Amino acid sequence: MVLIVASELDETAKTAGRQWTGKQATLMTPRDLCSPGWKVDSERFDESYIVASGLQVPVSELTQVLVLLPYVMECELFNVAETDRKYVASEILAFLYYFLSRLTCPVRNRPTAHCLVGPSWGVQQWSAAFRRSGIFIKRFQWEKYDAAVAHPAEALTSVSVVGGICIGETTEIPAKCILDLAELANVDFLTLRLISTNGETLLHSIQLIPDLQNFAVLEAVQSL
């Protein structure tokens, strides 16, 4: 069974779960993490039970986990008293990090202490990883530009890594460099969004959650 960890507000994740090709998939949201039925044994972890889509599921049945939830937002804890939501959200985040780290099946992306979908790196850390991967482009700072004045963006492109393959094209960065970047970040999913303005390629953003609305990405994710 494929477990999809996502926001209850993520309609794309819900659709992907219902239409998962060739495998049974189920959705787990923060609401499930506040529901009765959990049984996690630290000594006999493989005998643990989780709650997903309101149903109790044995951990031993999980074959893969797709994490689409970087953090737990207080506003999603509908079944928790409002005054307790901040504390409960932090506790759920800590528990999810523990739970996902203990799983022996593939977890994509593996969580880190401060982010459930991979490294919570800042600009300097990503810049260092870019250089080590042989990627030399400038970071794009939106606040320095005004769409109403000169130098409008000419194009926005993206290239994704899904399980060791590149999806999308960019002539500015070799595919090998992007794959090396994903390996350095220790992630299965990575998307670079690039912007071209005045003939110069700049980094728009880095995304660690696969875009399941992109059919090519969805197909690649489901084939893992």
The residue behind tokens 């998307």 is: 191
Q: What is the pLDDT of residue 145?
A: 38
In this model, does residue 103 exceed pLDDT 50?
yes
Helix residue ranges, H only, 103-209: 123-133, 175-185
pTM reported for the whole predicted model: 0.88
Q: What is the pLDDT of residue 137?
A: 78
Domain 123-222 = CATH 3.80.10: no
Q: Containing H/E element for 51?
A: strand 49-52
- HSE-up of residue 171 (Cα within 13 Å, Cβ side): 3
Mean predicted confidence (pLDDT) in 140-151: 42
In this model, does residue 149 exceed pLDDT 50?
no
Q: Where are the domains of the chain?
A: 2-108, 123-222
Residue 4: name the closest of 57, 69, 61 by CA. Answer: 69
Query: What mean pLDDT, rounded, does the chain reach?
Result: 88
